[in-house]
């Protein structure tokens, strides 16, 4: 049981980094609703569709990570983040990608819009979350390799299933 508690502590730390502090690359606007994308305009777009949302409450935070596995779920490791008002059952966000490469995406449903990934009394996730490739989270946050996806020079649509704590 102690091993499982330690693994959940690692997961909570990763989710805290995902919700974490702002940086110059972060966007907290609701720009993607009108077809606008986050980031510097390029010829490549990543459209992230977050599905199976339980409600229209709050916001959905979508974080894009670059191909450096050490930056995945690390404080200040993100490439870009967008926060948009929730539209259940599917919320959509768009990012301009700098170049064809490998990326990973992490999302959470910030139901109270406090810009924090809330946890319950024992430190387990209190809000919905998900990852690209539906990467497994059985004993903590997934690895970059499990969440990684590759892009070419075309636009790409990524569908992410929101998971909620039981």
pLDDT, tens digit (0-9, with 9 covering 90-100), for 13-52: 555 555 554 333 343 333 333 358 999 999 999 999 999 9
Distance (Å, rounded) from C-alpha 133 to C-alpha 29?
25
Between 1 and 144, whose confidence is greater?
A: 144
Residue 28's region, left for phi above 0, alpha for psi from -120 to 50, else beta, is alpha
Residue 67: inside a domain: yes
Q: Domain tally for the chain? A: 1
> What is the predicted pLDDT for the residue at 120?
87
Q: Specify which residues 93 forms β-bridges with.
A: 48
Between 16 and 60, whose confidence is greater?
A: 60
Query: What's the whole-number mean pLDDT along residues 49-72?
Result: 97
Burial profile 147-164: b = 16 or more Cβ within 10 angstroms, e = fewer: bbeebeeeebebebebbe
- pLDDT tens digits, residue range 71-109? 999 999 999 999 999 999 999 999 999 999 999 999 999
Q: Specify whether the CB–CB gap between 105 and 63 falls below 8 A.
A: yes
Query: What's the whole-number mean pLDDT along residues 63-75?
Result: 97
Q: Specify whether the CB–CB gap between 163 and 114 falls below 8 A.
A: no
Residue 166: inside a domain: no
Q: Would you give the DSSP letter of residue 30?
A: -
> What is the predicted pLDDT for the residue at 13?
52
Residue 133's region, left for phi above 0, alpha for psi from -120 to 50, else beta, is left
Residue 156: inside a domain: yes
Q: Report the share of the chain in percent with pLDDT over 90.
A: 70
> What is the predicted pLDDT for the residue at 159?
97
Q: Report the share of the chain in percent with pLDDT over 70.
A: 79
Distance (Å, rounded) from C-alpha 41 to C-alpha 16?
29
Residue 95: inside a domain: yes
Query: What does residue 156 show for φ and ψ, rounded to 5 degrees?
Result: -135, 140
Cis peptide before 74 (omega within 30 of 0): no
* Domain carrying residue 130: 2-161
Assign residue 134 the CATH number of its domain.
2.60.40.10
pLDDT tops 50 at residue 10 = no
């Amino acid at each position: 049981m102690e091993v499982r508690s330690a693994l959940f502590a690692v997961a909570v730390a990763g989710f805290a980094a995902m919700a974490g502090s702002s940086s110059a690359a972060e966007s907290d606007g609701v720009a993607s609703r009108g077809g606008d994308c986050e980031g510097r305009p390029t010829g490549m777009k990543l459209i992230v569709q977050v599905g199976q949302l339980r409600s229209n409450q709050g916001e959905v935070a979508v974080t894009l990570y670059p191909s450096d596995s050490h930056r995945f779920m690390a404080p200040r490791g993100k490439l870009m983040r967008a926060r948009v008002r929730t539209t259940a059952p599917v919320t959509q966000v768009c990012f301009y990608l700098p170049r064809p490469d490998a990326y990973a995406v992490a999302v959470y449903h910030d139901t109270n819009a406090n810009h924090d990934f809330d946890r319950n009394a024992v430190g387990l996730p209190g809000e919905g979350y998900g990852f690209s490739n539906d990467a497994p989270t059985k004993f903590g946050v997934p690895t970059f390799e499990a969440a990684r996806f590759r892009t070419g020079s075309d636009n790409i649509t990524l569908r992410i299933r929101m998971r909620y704590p039981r």
